[in-house]
Amino acid sequence: MDLRLLSSFLAVVEEGHFKRAAARLFLSPPAVTQHIRQLESQFGTQLLHRNPVSPTRAGARLA
């Protein structure tokens, strides 16, 4: 598991917004989105609700 993916996920959960999480991590919003998608692919489940941004049950357990 890549720690960059986890740090992006945790930043999105804590900020509640992809753009603010990206700014916090000095990344572009598309990069953060890609990190979340890669992490969801690895776990085989959705980790975040997109609108509004909040963790799913699986995402809350991971956080």
Residues making up the chain, counted from first to last: 63
What CATH class does 3-62 carry? Answer: mainly alpha
Question: H helices within the chain, ranges in order?
Answer: 3-15, 18-25, 29-43, 57-62
Task: Report whether pLDDT(46) > 80.
Answer: yes
* pTM of this structure: 0.93
Residue reference for tokens 């996920």: 9
pLDDT band for position 42 (cuts 50, 70, 90): very high
pLDDT per position as a tens digit, 1-24: 799 999 999 999 999 999 999 999
Are 47 and 30 in contact by the 8 Å Cβ rule? The answer is: no
Q: Mean pLDDT across the stretch 19-33? A: 98
Question: What percentage of the chain carries pLDDT values higher than 90?
Answer: 97
